[in-house]
Amino acid sequence: MTEFRSGFICFVGRPNTGKSTLTNALVGDKIAITSNRPQTTRHAIRGIVNLPDAQLVLVDTPGLHRPRTLLGKRLNDLVLDTLSEVDIICLCIPADEPIGPGDKWIIEQIKPLARRARGDRSARSAPGAAVVGIVTKLDKVTPDKVGDQLIKLSQLLGDDAEVIPVSAKSGKQLDVLSDLLVSLCEPGPAFYPDGELTDEPEQVLMAEFIREAALEGVRDELPHSLAVTIEEVIPREGTDPPMVDVYAHLFVERDSQKGIIIGKKGARLKEVGTAARGQIERLLGCKVYLDLRVKVAKDWQRDPKQLGRLGF
């Protein structure tokens, strides 16, 4: 009989390397928001993969970067704290972009935390995390380019690290990646009940869905300046089918950004509400009335008190 295995696996990499998309694909449901904008992920989101012989707890983290604000520093600290506590570190490098200084800087952060990923069982039980290099977005380039990227990544990570190409979008190689991660986990119990997909509180997921909708199609400077809080969630009494009222605030740093979010005659904010409401209704399993208010919190990314109030 096969021993049950379990472990915590962290996806790390520069912003926009496909970490959240890969997390969602392996979990089989949407638990992390995705966007082509930097700094989309701001929390360590846990996704749970339940398999017949294993449970993988995937920790999707913000992109590691050279911080320019207090928020950026706190996000980096969150990632590095997470890396020190997991069993496997997966470095995500996109197939369609050259490996650059930012990737090499991240590898230097990983190396002190790594243990041998191959070899006998004594190497497996050594302190530290196994390291896996993942070349993402393989569907975007030719097989030759994927091969070149795998070779370069393997050379940077060293002989002890496994490297594998995947496409979260098409699902190609996801089963191979899943099998590899299971093989690197130690025998152990399931950490979460079977069928559970994430341990994120519903209010955190709701705020993330609103932020994802607000990020769609906005200017480059706005994503960094946008934060969302859920103020109240109130079930309506006597409604059939059930209905919930959700009140949320969207915070930006300047009045001009407030105008971008609201749009002409409120049209943009209405689009945000429509898109987010659909995601929240799916999450809660009932109809939702969503009330969105846009507020200015001047330079909140650099203000410790405001960062604390916004959950950072």
pLDDT digits (tens, 9 = 90+) for 29-49: 766 655 554 455 555 677 889
> Other C-beta atoms within 10 Å of 33: how many?
22
pLDDT digits (tens, 9 = 90+) for 277-286: 998 998 888 9
Which is nearest to 153 in space by CA: 247, 302, 161? 161
Task: Tell which wins on pLDDT, 275 or 18.
Answer: 275
CATH topology of domain 5-184: Rossmann fold (3.40.50)
CB–CB of 47/31 below 8 Å? yes
Helix crossing, 143-157 with 101-110: angle to 10°? 40
What does the alpha-carbon distance between residue 207 and residue 184 come to, in Å, rounded to a whole number?
34
For the segment 129-150, the average pLDDT, to the nearest whole number, is: 93
For the segment 153-172, the average pLDDT, to the nearest whole number, is: 90
When the pLDDT of each residue in the chain is averaged and rounded to a whole number, the result is 82
CB–CB of 94/17 below 8 Å? yes
Asked whether residue 14 is marked as a ligand-binding residue, the answer is: yes
Asked whether residue 137 is marked as a ligand-binding residue, the answer is: yes
Strand order in the sheet with 287-296: 227-235, 243-252, 287-296
**Cα dist. 9→45, 85, 117, 275, 309 in Å?**
11, 9, 13, 31, 29
SS3 152: helix
Asked whether residue 15 is marked as a ligand-binding residue, the answer is: yes
Asked whether residue 50 is marked as a ligand-binding residue, the answer is: no
pLDDT at residue number 294: 93
Asked whether residue 112 is marked as a ligand-binding residue, the answer is: no
Task: State residue 155 phi and psi, 5-degree precision.
Answer: -65, -40
Asked whether residue 62 is marked as a ligand-binding residue, the answer is: yes
Question: Residue ranges of the domains in the chain?
Answer: 5-184, 202-310
What does the alpha-carbon distance between residue 94 and residue 75 come to, in Å, rounded to a whole number?
21
Asked whether residue 21 is marked as a ligand-binding residue, the answer is: no
SS3 119: coil
SS3 76: helix
What's the pTM value of the predicted model, to 2 decimals? 0.66
For the segment 202-219, the average pLDDT, to the nearest whole number, is: 82
pLDDT digits (tens, 9 = 90+) for 91-116: 999 999 999 988 998 888 888 877 64
What does the alpha-carbon distance between residue 248 and residue 226 come to, in Å, rounded to a whole number?
13
Polymer length in residues for the chain:
312
pLDDT at residue number 122: 40
- The residue written with tokens 């196994």 in the block is 130
Asked whether residue 136 is marked as a ligand-binding residue, the answer is: yes
Among the ranges 1-15, 73-87, 205-219, which has the highest mean pLDDT value?
1-15
Asked whether residue 13 is marked as a ligand-binding residue, the answer is: yes
**CATH number of this structure's domain 202-310, picked from the four choices 1.10.540.10, 3.30.365.10, 3.30.300.20, 3.90.550.10:** 3.30.300.20
What does the alpha-carbon distance between residue 233 and residue 251 come to, in Å, rounded to a whole number?
18
For the segment 190-194, the average pLDDT, to the nearest whole number, is: 87
Reported as a pLDDT band with limits 50, 70 and 90, residue 220 is low
Asked whether residue 63 is marked as a ligand-binding residue, the answer is: yes
CB–CB of 36/16 below 8 Å? yes
What does the alpha-carbon distance between residue 103 and residue 132 come to, in Å, rounded to a whole number?
14
Asked whether residue 47 is marked as a ligand-binding residue, the answer is: no
Run of H or E residues at 10: strand 5-12
Structure tokens at 46: 């846990």
Task: Please report the sign of the dihedral spanned by the C-alpha atoms of residue 192, residue 285, residue 279, residue 292.
Answer: negative
**Cα dist. 106→72, 103, 163, 204, 303 in Å?**
15, 5, 16, 27, 26
Task: Tell which wins on pLDDT, 194 or 70.
Answer: 194
Asked whether residue 73 is marked as a ligand-binding residue, the answer is: no
